[in-house]
């Protein structure tokens, strides 16, 4: 298979890239940062999905260059946590652009060729924040709630074309996602999911019989423990 992965340079995206390459598949990786790995079956492209200017043209170019694409894993995203009034309008826009709008743009570009081929799989990385809103998570939850609605509606829209849509809602995953946040998962194994766990789950959905659609999967650590980082400036 030929798979397009966003956010491929770290976290869940990188874990999926490694998993698929090791299984003999070809990967087109889109990320802001350079890929930390090289592989004969990896095409790494630098695209900032939070910048919408000219993004449709860039995505269309990628879509045509690598047509046909068998599956997409849409894992690019960022966190934004705090009281709503603490965020600038640019911060809000950037988060929505990356977490939601870029996913819609890429899907918009890929779906026509999947319909033409008569098959395809769209895998969207949501979040437990798509299931329940929590304080100081208004913007992040809004983006993930919207992704869930988008996934559900799109699934109904393309199911008759041989295209599957799967939404993965992880709890806290031990990745660089938390590097710029004020909190992180607890230190024990049961306090967080590993990115490789998500990659394994995604691969299982991809290799399931084509007539079976796994709509949505919620994945949680055994214990939800949050560590709040100490302010080093104090």
Contacts of 40 (CB under 8 A, 6+ apart): none
Bridging pattern class, strands 2-6 and 71-74: parallel
Tell me which residue of 34, 17, 31 sits closest to 71, measured CA to CA. Answer: 17
- The SS3 of residue 130 is helix
Asked about 89 being catalytic, the answer comes back as: no
Name the catalytic one among 89, 105, 140, 203: 140
Tell me which residue of 120, 113, 100, 129 sits closest to 166, measured CA to CA. Answer: 120
For helices 11-22 and 195-206, the axis angle rounded to 10 degrees is 50
User: What's the CA gap between 143 and 113, in Å, rounded?
Assistant: 26
Cite the active site residues.
140
């Amino acid at each position: 298979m030929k798979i397009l992965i966003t956010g491929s340079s770290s976290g869940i995206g990188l874990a999926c890239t490694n998993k698929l390459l090791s299984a003999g598949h070809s990967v087109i990786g889109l990320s802001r940062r350079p890929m930390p790995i090289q592989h004969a079956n990896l095409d790494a492209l630098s695209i900032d999905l939070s910048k919408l200017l000219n993004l449709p043209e860039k995505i269309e170019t990628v879509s045509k260059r690598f047509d046909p694409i068998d599956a997409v894993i849409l894992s690019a995203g960022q966190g934004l946590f705090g009281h709503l009034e603490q965020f600038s309008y640019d911060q809000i826009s950037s988060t929505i652009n990356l977490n939601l709008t870029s996913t819609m743009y890429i899907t918009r570009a890929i779906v026509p060729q999947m319909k033409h081929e008569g098959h395809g799989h769209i895998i969207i990385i949501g979040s437990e924040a798509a299931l329940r809103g929590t304080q100081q998570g208004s913007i992040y939850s809004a983006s993930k709630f919207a992704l869930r609605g988008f996934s559900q509606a799109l699934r109904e829209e393309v199911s008759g074309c041989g295209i599957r849509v799967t939404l993965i809602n992880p709890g806290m995953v031990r990745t660089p996602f938390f590097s710029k946040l004020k909190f992180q998962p607890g230190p024990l194994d049961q306090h967080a999911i590993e990115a490789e766990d998500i990659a394994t789950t995604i691969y299982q959905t991809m290799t399931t019989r084509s007539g079976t659609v796994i709509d949505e999967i919620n994945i949680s650590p055994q214990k939800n423990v949050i560590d709040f980082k100490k302010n080093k400036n104090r």
